[in-house]
Amino acid sequence: MNLRGTSALPVPDPGVTPGTGAGQRRLRPALCRPLGDVNAAMRDLDADAERVRALLDEGKLVGFNIGARDGGRATVRVLTQSIEHYLETGAPLSLAWEQIFRFLIPHDKLFLRGPEIERALNCDRGLVENLIRAKRFTCVKQPRFGPGGSPMVTRESFQAFMKGRML
């Protein structure tokens, strides 16, 4: 029997955190993408879309509708930290708004650049620009093409938008 290329040591499953049991998955750090879409929540919770929406409605998960238009199709994002907390405890994440917002924007700067907002919302530049055009943010630097063309918005307006869009 040829054993070349095999290891005698067991290879750990990358989706399992050591010491947590084989049934629990390790999620990426929340700072990578603090919000995930409904598909990511379905994957992490091993649930269907209706179950994820029910958990959001029950307040067991923290979610936001980041869609540009009021009354339009919802663009739902779920706070990754609330998914992790729910998986560990089965209970809702009970944090003050300031703590929840800190997961999205981990600094205290007065202005936010477009790529920062894209990372926080887990979206593309187009959605950020649509939100700016819809006057959802107070823009201090308009987007343009080329180097240094990222928009810049006030932290206060972004925070007010997110607080108002919490599900």
List of domains in the chain: 35-95 (no CATH), 100-164 (1.10.10)
* pLDDT of the residue at 18: 35
Q: What is the pLDDT along the chain (167 residues), one digit of tens a residue?
A: 444 444 443 333 444 343 344 455 555 554 478 999 999 999 999 999 999 999 999 999 999 999 988 877 889 999 999 999 999 999 999 999 999 999 999 999 999 999 999 999 999 999 999 999 999 999 999 888 888 889 999 999 999 999 999 99
C-alpha angle 117-118-119 in degrees, rounded to nearest 5:
90
* pLDDT tens per residue across span 128-144: 999 999 999 999 998 88
For residue 72, what are the β-bridge partners?
A: none
- Asked if 100 and 79 touch (Cβ cutoff 8 Å), the reply is yes
Q: Report the predicted TM-score, pTM, of the whole model to 2 decimal places.
A: 0.79
Query: β-strand 152-154 against 63-65: which pairing, if any?
Result: unpaired
